[in-house]
Amino acid sequence: MTPPAPAQDDRVAPVDWEALREAARDAMSRAYAPYSHYPVGAAARVDDGRTVTGCNVENASYGIGLCAECGLVSDLLNSGGGRLTHFTCVDGRGEVLVPCGRCRQLLYEFGGPGLLLETPAGLLPLSEMLPQAFGPEHLA
């Protein structure tokens, strides 16, 4: 298996980060968070220009709740696959969040080290948010 391809350079293929954030906020509005009351929405651009989204889905058995990134990856695969190139995630106030460690690993699988993440500290490649990541290339 070959290593994931790096995300497109934002300078070459400009991304409307506000529109991506708005898509994440829209997804967040449909989150199912009756236990934590902490809705989360995520949106990402795919290498073919599509936008995919997801929201968190909690469960009375707390450990089996799904983060927004899980829904986003499901949307990616259900709508034709591809590689994630740009990602943002928002909380219930619409403020930018960083993905948890589990979700960074999930994003690595579908976006690779070059996936650009919008964070409260600015735009960062996933390689800086998940250094020395384990991925499909390790299973070859």
> Minimal CA–CA distance to 99: which of 120, 77, 75, 113?
120
Are the CB atoms for 17 and 119 separated by under 8 Å? no
Any bridge partners for residue 117, and if so which?
87, 124
> Minimal CA–CA distance to 38: which of 100, 87, 84, 86?
100
Residues assigned a catalytic role: 69
Q: Count of residues for the chain?
A: 140
Question: 14 exposed, middle or buried (CB, 10 Å; 0-12, 13-18, 19+)?
Answer: exposed
